Structure formats: structure tokens, C-alpha cells
A and B are shown apart, each in its own frame.
Chain A
């Protein structure tokens, strides 16, 4: 009986795959009812199921599929016309068969469900067709529309026939031949369809147990290791060396191919959607056309499974809430059937999936209002935000209350869950929408979690991998001062890159791999950006290839590495996200850049314009977040502090450099004019005695978002840590309050209002 079990499980796998295909075929058939290939393929599937379960003794399922087969036979022979009702009936049949298959899978028995109603409905439809043919009339016939009608007269099928709903109209008046139901009786259609099916799938793919594939991947790993040992022991014997080299190449290729077995086309997921769209649209009483594009896009098997639920949710949402009702669409001058398009494509090492609809769109105002009501953001702040940013509130947990559904044209139900799911696999999601035109939801996910493009660098004798998606650029360090390191604030090194200063970390020293007194002048800076951090990692070299064979493309130096989890033992270090095994069998750690920003204390980038213009409350929070301040002495000898995270960089000027031709105090740098703000004037501080001009001053360059502005001070005293909370003293413009910075109370400047002040007082 063990053999039987094996056959049954094979039957189940094949049948459920065929049923998925049926879903697609039936939905497609609705659009093009006279496609003989599809009809034949549907017929064939049901016929196979009937035959196989008869063999295993599943009489109920066999009986059900027999009824279905009969109906399909008539349809195929053109005695029935395919319409929406018939489609629904057949989809119902597919679902009923699925119920049986589930029962068989879990219990080994087909269960008690017999679906008498469904059988009767199908028979009734068949009889109608036959009756129609016999009567030779053009009148339209109807079948019972609900199962309750059926159960009233369960024994007499013919009497249930004439009812209100038109189901069938016959086209052909040929004699019905029951034996036409066997494939042999209709060689024309079947042979054609079989040949296409075979060409499409059967001869190109075979079914393989996933476990088996994973075993192959593991075994190839072992082979790679053995190969590497072979290479290290290889002699100078030329013949042997040749063979070793060939084994080396072939093993490398084999490894690559084995890795590809993890990838699968997204079609596996996309082909479920036509049925879902049809069902949801019918339930909502809407007409929706689904366009699918890029279903051959490949990504990791495990990821496909993980995006199934979020995508289904997005599509349901698009139909339910995005597409308007037929009436509303007519009023808006749109076609009554809505369009939903599902698009997948690869883009810079990621897969982007777009779900777009041509529905009513989302009202920015409604979302903003809701966000403010919910206390997620202040009124002022929201007015400065971009639409995309505002739409992000839709993903906030609790945003999706029942009221919000109507307020924001329905989006937001469970969207926080969607976002959580997408983010858990390293993806992002965003929405753009135009009122009246439609909505696009864009999901970006990595191609695979298992293989990532990375740069392999060496530092202090160690090799480490840096994931490529975060790498901005590579800068070679040169002695000629073209791009030299300079000491930034607090003596921390920064790289001057074009006109920005980027904090850098010397990886060798930071990782304790090498000690040095004098800063090295050779090497490469890998500039990375992650979240709100941008920094450089100084490394000895970037490894571009490995011997004659490598997985790297020489031109870019990129490697595709297989990510393996590392032990929880190493998790507390917090700077490694995994490891990979290189071609030579050695283990290379993958740097966790997010972890490094924390461990190396990298300052966050200054906020963008939108955020800077937010309320003073928020700014105060920003200031408190930044516990460190640049303490400086103003021209009049006054001590002020500027939050360090709002300082772009520092530059020195000579007083003579200040452009006298301009109406206000400007200084020229890099060909542009920078307005200087004198804190003494903003804060009205009195001049202290003995503070004469030194002829030079230091400009604290403010973030670009505030325009070209710098706070001009006499000198920088130090960088200090602020203690306690900010005290709001006298309400003075340009001042956030007073704080204990270092060991004395210091006034903390509000650079935003100071900058506004400067705009209003250009002649300062």
C-alpha cells in the first residue's frame, strides 16, 4: 500500500497544479469563449482527475468530476455556450474538487462531502442543452440559480430546468454522442492541445522535491571544498594540473547552477491572481480587467511565498476600495470596467512589483486630516510634507479604522500588516496616487535573501563583504591631496567628497586588526549610505577576482555571494549580518552597515527641508536627540552652542574675504555666495571688552536645505555633551533655550529661525 500512497501524493500534487491552471483557463475563457485549446485543456484536466480517482476508489470525487466532464463535453462540442454563469458553475466545480483533494491529503479519504447541489446544477445545465437541441427552438432556457431551489425538488432534475436565469444557449444542433467525451472521439482538438501543452511545459520541466534540490546545493558545497583542497595539494605535473583546473572551473559553474535552482519565476504567484480578481470583483459587483506584466521575473522561492499574502491584500484593496462602482465610473467619464495592472521587473538588484489601478485615487487631504487627528503629526508639519510622505501614514498601525476606510477612499485596511510583512524580508513599500486617476502601490524586495551582490574588501589581512545596494561610490585615497582626509569635528576623520564632508571609519583599526600611529594615505574609501546615515569605510583594497575563475564580473568587482546565517554567538557583536563561503572554502563575514552606524557612532545626516520647517516643538525634540553640541564663541565673545547634527561642516574665512560689494555679509566659496549670519545680531548680545577682531572667523555651514548660509563665529571652543533638558528661557528669536553643555549653561541656537531672521534682515 505504500506504493499506492506514493501514487496518491503524486496525483494530489499534479491535480492541484492542474486546478490552478483551470482557474486561469476558465477566467481566460470568459474573455475568449471560443478558444478550442483552452476548452480541450480544461476537459482533459477534469477527465484525468475522474480517471485517476476512479482508479484509487474515490467514488464521490469520481462521480463529481464525471458530471463536470459531461458538461465540459457539451461545451467543447459547441452544444453549450460559455458565459459568466457557466464560468461560475465550473469554478464552483474546481473549488469542490479542491475540497476533496484537501480531504484526501489530510485524511487519506475523500470525505463525506458529495456536492449533490452542484452535480444537479451541472446536470440541469446539460439537460437544458440537450432539450434545447431537441426542441430546435431559439428560446432561452434557464436553470435554478441557487441551491435552495434545487433542494426543493432534489429527485426530479428535469423539472428544475425552466427558471428565471438564462444560462445556456445552444449553437450547434448536432447529434449528441456521449462517447465523444473520451479523448479518442475528438482527436482534432485534443491532439492539438496536447501537443501545445507538451511543448510549453512538460518537456521543459520536471517536478523535483525541494528537499532534494537543497541537498544538491549542500553537496555542491562539499565538492567545492574538496576541489579547493585538491588545488592546494596539486603538483607541478602539467597533466594533473590541467585536470585540476578543469575540475575547478566545472565545480564553480556547478555551484552557480545549483544556486539558481532556488530561483523561480514570479508567475507561480501571479497566476493565482486572475481568479482572485474575478472573485473579488464579482463580490463587489464591479467589472475589473487584470493586466499582468513581467511574470517571468525570477526571485527566490522562499520570497515568493512571503509576498503572497501582502500582494493579495493589495489587489483586494485595489478592487474593493480603489476601483469605483460602475455608476461612479460612468459619472467620472471612465469606462465601466476598471483596470488593475500587476507589473514585476528587476531594477538594481531588486524586484519591483507594482499594483496599479485606475480608480478614484487617495485624497491627500483626507489622509493628512486623519493623521493629524490621530496625533501622528502636527498640522504645521503635515503641510510641508510631500504627498508620498503623507501616504506613508496609511501604513501606520491603527490608521485603518472603519472610518478611515471611507475617509481615505478605503485604503488602509491592514496596510500596517502589509508593510510589516514586506519589511521583514528587507523590502520597502510606497504609494503614489492622483485623485480621480488612480493609485500605484510599489513594493520593492530583494531578489533573494540567499544570494546578494557584494563587494569583497580586504582590511588588515581580513576579507569582509559589503552588500552592494548600500554602496554609493568608491574613492581611492591619493597622496596628492586631491581627496584627502581631514580631521572633522572632535578629531574624527572625515572625507571631503566634492563639497560634502563624510565621516569615515578606518576599518582595520576599528576592528582591532592593525595598530598605526600615522594615518595611512593609501587605500580605498567605500562610501555607503543606509537609512539616514552616510559614511565611508577605509579599506586596504577591493578584491576584484579570484584566480582564473570567479563569480565576480571583473569590470565592476561585484561578487554574488551566498548568504549564510552565523551563529547566535556572534549576534551580540552587532556588526555582522551573516557570512559567506568563498571559492577557496574560506569564510568571509558580511558587514551589517546598520550595526556599524551604531557601533561606530556615525552621526545621522541632517534632516531634509520638509522636516526642518516643522514646528519648534519638533525641532526641540531633534535637539534633544542630538546630545552633542558645537560650542563656540561669537564675535562679541558670547558663548553659544549649535546642535552638532545640524552642522554641515566648518570653514574658516578671512574677514577680508567677505564680499563688500553685496548688500549684506556674504562670502564667496566654491563660486557661490554664502550668507553669513552673525549670532550677536540675531541674539542682540552686547559686545564684551577686549574682544577685538582677529581678522578671521569660522563659518558653521548650515544644511543645504536652508540655503547657502553659515553662522559666523570668532572661534570654535569644543564639542560638548549636553546634560539635562533644554530650558526655554526668554523667548528670543533664533534661540531654542538654555542647556547645560559641558559644565556651563549655554544658549542653544535655533538655526532654522536664525536662518529665517537672516532672510528677513539681509543687511545684518
Chain B
């Protein structure tokens, strides 16, 4: 498994760093400090009855980590075989989660003041949008993603 060391240079006090990646040609990012490691997608064991975006559980050196496929989460089509998905291991409140993405791009410093918050903040899983040279970076809030997954789960349970 290939690990990528995250570039720690050029971080200034008022600046943060984000880890950018692609999902269905859209550029997303998470806080670089939350990312603990990056791997190629390994074996993920299915969890029956879990919400579709939860691909399953993976064994990361004895630690059991739930994998969330961001393609499914954002209702994009499932990854074609040509795409070798990347596992982004993110630490949220002492728990590890794996986000499956199409391609890892870069670790970029950014100015938090430049982030435009989403219009409907309560329903969005974004912290905000960040302008980049040629495109927009959608800065994700992993906590909000988890929260929305938990909501999906309880809703479908109450229906079924």
C-alpha cells in the first residue's frame, strides 16, 4: 500500500491547508490536518443493510474503518473499473473513516477568509467553496457527511 506524505511546507499562521481530490471530475477537499493517510483502495467488506454510500468496512492494521464512497454519497454513478479508487483516511472525533475518491490531487494552502459558505448551510455537507486557478474547490465537512449518513439511516429504518 502506497502512503503519501503530506507536504508540510509553506503553512503560514493565518493559512490552512486542504487536501484536494477528484470525484467524478469535481474537485473536492478536506482539511489536510484531518487526513491521517492515503492508500489505494484495498479489500472492503460489505455491510448488509447499511446505507448505499457506506461501501463497507476495511481493516487498517487491525483497526476497523468504515468506508464511504463519495461517488455514491453525491449520487454520481458508481466508479467504473477504469478508475482505481483512492482511500483517504480521515480522523473525525478520534474515529477513523475512509473516504473513497477517484484521484488525489494536491495539498494546497488556503486563506480561510476566501471560503464562501454554502447558501443553505443547514442542508449542505460543504464548509464552503474556494476559488482556485481554473476551478472551484468544494471544501467538505466530514462531520456533516457523517451526520447526513446517520440521518439517512434512521429515516429508512422508520419507513421499513
Contact, CB under 8 Å: A581 / B62: yes
Whether B58 sits at the interface, judged by CB under 8 Å, is yes
Determine whether the beta carbon of B153 is less than 8 Å from that of A566.
no
**A162-B153 Cα distance, complex, nearest whole Å:** 80
- The docked-state distance in angstroms from the alpha carbon of A281 to that of B16 is 65
B54→A462 contact, CB < 8 A: no
A576 and B54 CA atoms in complex are apart in Å by 15
Asked whether, in the complex, the Cβ of A572 is within 8 Å of the Cβ of B61, the reply is no
Known pairs A567-B97, A572-B153; A587 contacts B64 (CB<8 A): yes
Pick 24 A–B contacts, CB within 8 A, sort by A: A218-B62, A222-B61, A224-B62, A225-B59, A462-B46, A511-B49, A564-B63, A566-B57, A567-B65, A567-B66, A568-B150, A569-B54, A569-B146, A570-B47, A570-B50, A570-B54, A572-B150, A572-B154, A573-B157, A574-B157, A579-B57, A581-B64, A587-B45, A589-B48
Contacts of B146 in A (CB 8 A): 569
A616 to chain B, nearest CB (A): 35
Across the interface, name the chain B residue whose C-beta is closest to A463: B45
The chain B residue sitting closest to A572, CB to CB, is: B153
Q: A225-B59, A567-B97, A586-B59 are in contact. Are A573 and B45 (CB under 8 A)?
A: no
A512 beta carbon closer than 8 Å to chain B: yes
Contact of B149 among A221, A569, A581 (CB under 8 A): A569
Q: Is the pair A566, B66 in contact by a Cβ cutoff of 8 Å?
A: yes
Q: How far is the CA of A568 from the CA of B54 in the complex (A)?
A: 12
> Which B residues touch A569, using CB under 8 A?
54, 66, 97, 146, 149-150
Interface residues of A in 560-593 (CB under 8 A from B): 564-570, 572-576, 579, 581, 585-589
Contact assessment for A586 and B62 in the assembled complex, using a CB-CB cutoff below 8 Å: no
Which 9 pairs show the lowest CB-CB distances between chains A and B? A221-B62, A511-B48, A572-B153, A587-B45, A567-B66, A587-B57, A222-B61, A564-B64, A579-B64
Picked from A225, A570, A574, A587, the residue with its CB within 8 Å of the CB of B61 is A225
Map CB proximity to A onto B30-68 as digits: 1 under 8 Å, 0 otherwise. 000000000000010111111000101111011111100
Return chain B residues, CB-CB under 8 Å to A222.
61-62
Bound Cα distance from A566 to B58, whole angstroms: 11
Whether the Cβ atoms of A568 and B57 lie closer than 8 Å is no
**Are A570 and B43 in contact, with the CB atoms below 8 A?**
no
Q: What's the nearest-Cβ distance from chain B to residue A565, in Å?
A: 8
Given known pairs A567-B95, A569-B149, the reply for A221 and B61 (CB within 8 Å) is yes
Q: Do A581 and B95 form a contact, CB below 8 Å, given A566-B64, A572-B150, A587-B45?
A: no
When chains A and B are docked, how far (Å) is the Cα of A587 from the Cα of B98?
A: 15
State in angstroms the CA–CA spacing of A587 and B64 once bound together. 8
Measured in the bound complex, the distance between the Cα atoms of B157 and A568 in whole Å is 16
- Interface residue? A717 (CB, 8 A): no
* Contacting pair B61 A218 (CB below 8 A): yes
Interface string of B145-157 (1 = CB under 8 A from A): 0100110011001
Among candidates B47, B149, B150, B153, residue contacting A589 with C-beta atoms closer than 8 Å? B47
Q: Fill in one digit per residue for A587-610: 1 if any B CB lies within 8 Å of its CB, else 0.
A: 111000000000000000000000
- How far is it, in angstroms, between the C-alpha of A221 and the C-alpha of B49 when the chains are bound? 28
A512 to B51, CA, bound (A): 12
| A586 near B66: Cβ-Cβ < 8 Å | no
Q: Mark A203-239, 1 if CB is under 8 A from B, else 0.
A: 0000000000000011001101100000000000000
State the CA gap A570–B57 with chains docked (Å).
10
Cα-based distance from A586 to B43 in the complex (angstroms): 7
- Chain B residue numbers with a CB within 8 Å of A579 are 57, 64
- In the complex, the answer to whether A572 meets B157 with C-beta atoms within 8 Å is yes
Q: Mark B121-148, 1 if CB is under 8 A from A, else 0.
A: 0000000000000000000000000100
Shortest beta-carbon distance from B106 to chain A in Å: 28
A565: nearest residue on chain B (CB-CB)?
A: B64
| A residues less than 8 Å from B154 (CB atoms) | 572
- How long is the Cα–Cα vector from A676 to B79 in the complex, in angstroms? 64
Apart from A217-B62, A570-B47, A581-B64, 8 more pairs, CB < 8 Å? A221-B61, A511-B48, A512-B49, A567-B66, A569-B150, A574-B157, A585-B59, A587-B59
- Distance A301 CA – B97 CA, assembled complex (angstroms): 29
Contact residues in B for A218 (Cβ distance below 8 Å)? 61-62
Contacts of A588 in B (CB 8 A): 45
> Closest residue to A222 on the B side, CB-wise?
B61
Separation in Å of the B150 CB from the closest CB of chain A?
6
- Measured in the bound complex, the distance between the Cα atoms of B63 and A689 in whole Å is 72
A459 nearest in chain B by CB position: B48
Q: Which residues of B contact A221 (CB under 8 A)?
A: 61-62
A587 to chain B, nearest CB (A): 4
A231 to B22 alpha-carbon distance, docked (Å)? 33
Q: Is the CB of A573 within 8 A of B49?
A: yes
The distance in angstroms between the C-alpha atoms of A576 and B49, with both chains bound, is: 10
Residues on the B chain within 8 Å of A225, using CB:
59, 61-62
Instruction: State in angstroms the CA–CA spacing of A574 and B153 once bound together.
Output: 10
Give the complex CA separation of A575 and B153 in angstroms.
Answer: 13
Check B66 against A570 for contact (C-beta < 8 Å). Answer: yes
Taken together as a complex, chains A and B put the C-alpha atoms of A585 and B42 apart, in Å, by 11
Chain A residues positioned under 8 Å from B63 (CB to CB): 564
When C-beta atoms are compared, the residue in chain A nearest to B151 turns out to be A572
Residues from chain B with Cβ under 8 Å of A581 in the complex: 59, 62, 64
Chain B residue nearest to A507 in the complex (CB): B48
Nearest residue, chain B, Cβ from A217 = B62
Task: Judge whether A513 is part of the interface by a CB distance below 8 angstroms.
Answer: yes
CB distance from B21 to the nearest CB of A (A): 21
A587 — which chain B residues lie within 8 A by C-beta?
45, 56-59, 64
Which of B48, B61, B95 has most A Cβ within 10 Å? B48
The winner among B66, B95, B154, B157 for most chain A CB atoms within 10 A is: B66
